[in-house]
Amino acid sequence: MKTIKGYKFLTSQNKSYNGDQKWKKGVWVNHKGELELCESGLHASRTPLQSLQYVYGDNWWIVGARGKFKEDKNDKFVCSEMRIIKRLPVKKILVKFAILCAKRCLKNYEKEYPNDNRPRKSIEAAERYYKNPSKKNKDVAEAAARSAARYAARSAELKWQKKTLNRLVKDIGGEAK
């Protein structure tokens, strides 16, 4: 029987968010009855990114799935048999993912706001915390991230307000002659 790889979040007690299913590593769980997405059966996502839409707990697992299947091509599937295979280090992976996402956007931000180094400092602080997860590095990273986020949100909102108001003045108020 073919096994499909998937990704699933479980609560800190390794329970499904919906229902009372208690999962044990390597043990196949069987669902009897009809399969219905979001209703009945054993659910997971095909990719790690898709699974981030269903963060229902602290434990992130790679799963094996087999048996009967129904699939939503966008983000999840439901099956009749599943087992958890390997627990993923959720915080380590997602902190690194957040750093990489932020770095990817940084050049665009710095192009728009060349005198604001807070996002870069926030990323550097997060990288220090990732390499050495001490309380001090965590506190510094959190403070830097809050500062950068507040400024970025204000800047983005101000930019949108300015652009929108200029457009409304032109569209509704008409051009000056």
Q: Which of 49, 79, 39 is nearest to 63 (CA)?
A: 79
Prediction pTM value = 0.73
Question: What pLDDT is stored for residue 149 in this prediction?
Answer: 65
Mean pLDDT of 152-160: 68
CA distance 81 to 44: 11
3-class SS letters over 18-49: CCCCECCCCCCEECCCCCECCCECEEEECCHH
Question: What pLDDT is stored for residue 30 in this prediction?
Answer: 95
pLDDT tens digit string along 1-25? 799 999 999 998 999 888 788 999 9
Q: Which of 116, 139, 137, 136 is nearest to 127 (CA)?
A: 137
How many beta carbons lie within 10 A of that of residue 139, not counting itself? 12
Average pLDDT, the chain: 85
